[in-house]
A and B are shown apart, each in its own frame.
Chain A
Amino acid sequence: MSLQTIDTAMRSLTIGLVTAAVAAVAMATGSVAARAQDAGEFHELETKYIFGNFTVGSSIDEEGEKAFEPETEADFGKRGGKYGVSETELEFEYTPTQFMQVAFGPTVSYYNIHGVPGLDDLNAVAVNGFEAEFRPIIVDRGPSMPFAITASIEPEYHSRDETSGAQVANFGVENKLEADTELIKNRLFLAFNALYEPETTRDLGMWTKESTWGVSSALAYQIIPKVVVGADLWYLQHYDGLAFNNFTGDAVYLGPTFYWQIAPKILMSAAWQTQIAGREAGIVPANLDLADFSRQRARLLFEFEF
């Protein structure tokens, strides 16, 4: 058996053990909370944001609903130096039909980079792009259909590189399939996402292409009415080229999630993830991929419906 095969087997075992541990903790927490609460206090939830928003649920809100959603993703930590970058999407979200949701808005980024190998120092805030999102329902959940699937197609433009902050012209499309199901009615939810994001970037007159794909699984438990806690596990791979041309690295992220329906028209969703495994292509021994991905990442979203 080769070293690479052993490495792959160990990686699969680690992911499996972590997933099982997360599921066990969630189920144990759930059984305690379930005894403490009257089941009648728990009602249906929109699942879109209950998984912390790295993994997204399938629901699309009610027809005619409009909302303002500031959402920030922050990345921390590279191989050395000090690295903190955030991007805030100022989204207007609208559900025009019972089958489709759209959203669009500008993005604002903050870069705090000092002494990171391969990156120029930068301390800047910039309006750096625009994103739109289309979310049609592919499989509709109902009494006879236990799971639902929604597609998400998100074309985006950035005038600064998301990682380095360098001035570029970057175009990408984040494509996702977002599936979820209820394991315990109105209480325990399980989601799966699949991601494929091709990007092309013009920097110093040259076009370069890259792509990221990934899969995720998340558990979310409504521990008291309108408050959901859970865990989210992601596996990501990065390639040069749009179609898996040259593998450059992969990463496994794991972390907790939190959702709170603060008021009937206001909610928050948060997640924090740490890279627990990963490798850069050509680097032996494998010890995280901090070139393509950050050491830690977080998301915080508020929704204000009007």
Chain B
Amino acid sequence: MRVNSPCTNLIAGSFVLAAAIFTAGTPLRAQQAHALAITVKGNHFQPASLSAPANQPLSITIKNLDATPMEFESVSLRVEKVIGPGASGTVHVRPLAAGSYEFFDDFHQQTRGVLVVR
């Protein structure tokens, strides 16, 4: 008869729990993403305010027209991406509830905008 040691049970239990919670926390990404676009010029977002539908995945394409790199970042959207001068980048955002979500350039923190989800 095979008897598991206490540590084997402990480790096995923790991984089963982690796997269950990880699976529960992983979203299905089959839904079509709503596309948004924004540019950065003179250390300002243009437009400074974006609108998007609620409960739908989003893809936001950022074009950096400045001569220095920028990092598009948002605490509440939980995304960040470094974009070189003259380059573009896209971030993918989970479906959101209605409300306002701040974003900013982490390399020039006065550069700020807002995503309004309705």
B10 within 8 A of A: yes
Shortest distance in angstroms between B27's beta carbon and chain A's nearest beta carbon?
7
* A155 lies within 8 A of B102 (CB): no
B59 within 8 A of A: no
- Chain B at the A interface: SS class: mixed
* A143 lies within 8 A of B100 (CB): yes
Bound together, the chains give a CA A42 to CA B18 distance in angstroms of: 35
* B21 lies within 8 A of A142 (CB): no
Contacts of A145 in B (CB 8 A): 97
Bound together, the chains give a CA A44 to CA B17 distance in angstroms of: 31
Bound together, the chains give a CA A144 to CA B6 distance in angstroms of: 44
Count of CB-CB pairs between chains A and B under 8 Å? 101
* A61 lies within 8 A of B78 (CB): yes
Bound together, the chains give a CA A159 to CA B26 distance in angstroms of: 34
* B10 lies within 8 A of A200 (CB): yes
Contacts of A95 in B (CB 8 A): 78
B96 within 8 A of A: yes
A59 within 8 A of B: yes
Bound together, the chains give a CA A44 to CA B106 distance in angstroms of: 13
Task: Return the contact of B98 from the options A46, A60, A138, A143 (Cβ within 8 A).
Answer: A143
- Chain A at the B interface: SS class: strand
* A43 lies within 8 A of B104 (CB): yes
* B80 lies within 8 A of A136 (CB): no
Task: Return the contact of B76 from the options A44, A61, A99 (Cβ within 8 A).
Answer: A44
Task: Return the contact of A59 from the options B6, B10, B75 (Cβ within 8 A).
Answer: B75
B56 within 8 A of A: no
Shortest distance in angstroms between A263's beta carbon and chain B's nearest beta carbon?
10
A105 within 8 A of B: no
What are 26 A-B contacts with C-beta separation under 8 Å?
Answer: A44-B74, A59-B75, A61-B78, A62-B73, A62-B78, A62-B79, A64-B80, A65-B80, A99-B25, A99-B26, A100-B26, A134-B21, A136-B21, A136-B22, A142-B97, A143-B97, A143-B101, A153-B18, A155-B10, A172-B10, A173-B14, A200-B6, A202-B7, A207-B5, A264-B107, A264-B109
Residue positions of B touching A, CB distance < 8 A? 5-7, 10-11, 13-15, 17-18, 21-22, 24-27, 73-81, 93-94, 96-102, 104, 106-107, 109, 112, 117
Residue positions of A touching B, CB distance < 8 A? 43-46, 59-65, 95, 97-100, 134, 136-138, 141-145, 151, 153, 155, 169, 171-173, 175, 198-200, 202, 207, 209, 242, 264
